A and B are shown apart, each in its own frame.
Chain A
């Protein structure tokens, strides 16, 4: 996978279905149900559940213009879950995770000395969350403004298109820095609301995959 360099106005890319995205290389990542039994110690109740991981693949495109990193995520989902109108309903969500230390693993969502940074889009929310985690049960949602994270979404013809955008270099602590010419790694998770997926109940892309960032 790679992040293509395009000198394009970032604002144009917020339109996930716009022409700005055509021609940018697309990778299709297979997804599989998260290995939920691993969460026994943080939630024995959740660890015993099954039937999660309904979404089977996700289409990924990434680009940057030297200052702004943009990512377009799309997946088939005939049921749009963005409004919670009952107490047993959940919304669709997608997240991309980056390691913040060498050797951090996606399957554990990081660990005490090897944290991870994730961006979380949730259908129906005004803004995405910037998440910091050091292992299961530790994730902290931070407001998007701390890193300048932006999101846009559109659901049409049974497909979600979500764009996540963030300045490549950010001042704050505990946030991934994306540098032209330096490889990074990503892992992706998708939650299907109609299947009551949340926390570890999700579909994941597996361990971190290396991504080339064009200079």
Chain B
């Protein structure tokens, strides 16, 4: 076995788990972020990590400016250089002067304020640009973009690891072997989604583990299960009965984020339909507020067809007709969304 074929082996899997997130329903509540943080990133050295995270777009995203960090592949499949992520970009771990304000009776003179983990005034942080909008009044727009590791089918983090410490499991979950990792961070540079984080306490890199101990017990990952907006579906890509399959392959309304990165990501998004715009006279038009070029930048040109389908199916419901697609997206019973992953967390 030569080394190239060993990378192919590390990337291989028999099945692939996937998440679908409906951006029309995400309300930016960060329950997914918190669900993940409570479970996995409260250990020393993980304070800055948000394996599950939600950004407001337009905005600089999380980690900051991840869309210009590089990594991934070009059209010919060649690796593209990428950047490391520093603590500020990763959202840091703000400290607050609770003691000063609450215990030292300085409530009148001292104000509650964050400082960075290095003791400075924050210049940026996690969710810094929440609800920042784009577009001109009265046609302002924004949308939330919840993210996590995409457990890519062609994962550049696996290619980049000079120690072959990253691999895909049979179910498609991509994991960093904490025993083999020595924290060289080539994976951090290679992941174009910015989803690998360095742990300075252990000297190793970490990322979303897709809640594999839950998944093994047929419990959906915490970010998906805890989503109060019921935005998320979960299951195997080849499970024809799953909502994941129906939304991605039958209805073709769930799209990978930045497919041009060439990594074949496995988190899919139902694009936001957005509010209609007003014209100069203040009359409501049937023009969507989020410009198509913004959405194309995220999802590619296929987003046009997906939105058309969504609008058509929504109209059917409005007209009192039935729509299987809308019924899936409404998701009356949470169990319907998670295929076989409906067991209760213990």
Contacts and interface: CB of A to CB of B under 8 A. Distances in A.
B160 interface: yes
Interface residues of B, number: 34
Contacts of B71: 45
Contacts of A86: 86-87, 200
A24 B223 CA distance: 62
A42 B86 contact: no
Interface string B1-14: 01110010000000
Contacts of B81: 45, 48-49
Interface in A73-117: 84-88
The B interface is mostly helix, strand or loop, or mixed, namely: loop
Contact-size category for A: 20 to 34
A85 B118 contact: yes
Nearest to A120: B182
B87 A43 contact: no
A46 B164 CA distance: 13
Contacts of B159: 43-45
Interface stretch (A6-14, A142-150, A192-200, A203-211): A192-200
Given A87-B90, A88-B86, A198-B185, A43 B48 contact: no
B161 A43 contact: yes
B190 to A, nearest CB: 5
A87 B85 contact: yes
B147 interface: no
B86 A43 contact: no
Contacts of B184: 198-199
Interface in B152-199: 156, 159-164, 182, 184-186, 188-190, 197-198
Contacts of A49: 81
Query: Interface on chain A toward B: helix, strand, loop, or mixed SS?
Result: loop
B208 to A, nearest CB: 17
B4 A141 contact: no
B157 to A, nearest CB: 9
Given A85-B118, A87-B197, A45 B160 contact: yes
A46 B162 CA distance: 8
18 contacts: A42-B162, A43-B159, A43-B186, A44-B159, A44-B160, A45-B186, A45-B190, A46-B160, A46-B162, A48-B81, A85-B118, A86-B200, A87-B48, A87-B84, A87-B197, A136-B3, A136-B162, A198-B184
Interface of A: 39, 41-46, 48-49, 84-88, 136-137, 139, 141, 196, 198-200
Interface of B: 2-4, 7, 48, 71, 78-79, 81-82, 84-87, 90, 118, 156, 159-164, 182, 184-186, 188-190, 197-198, 200, 203
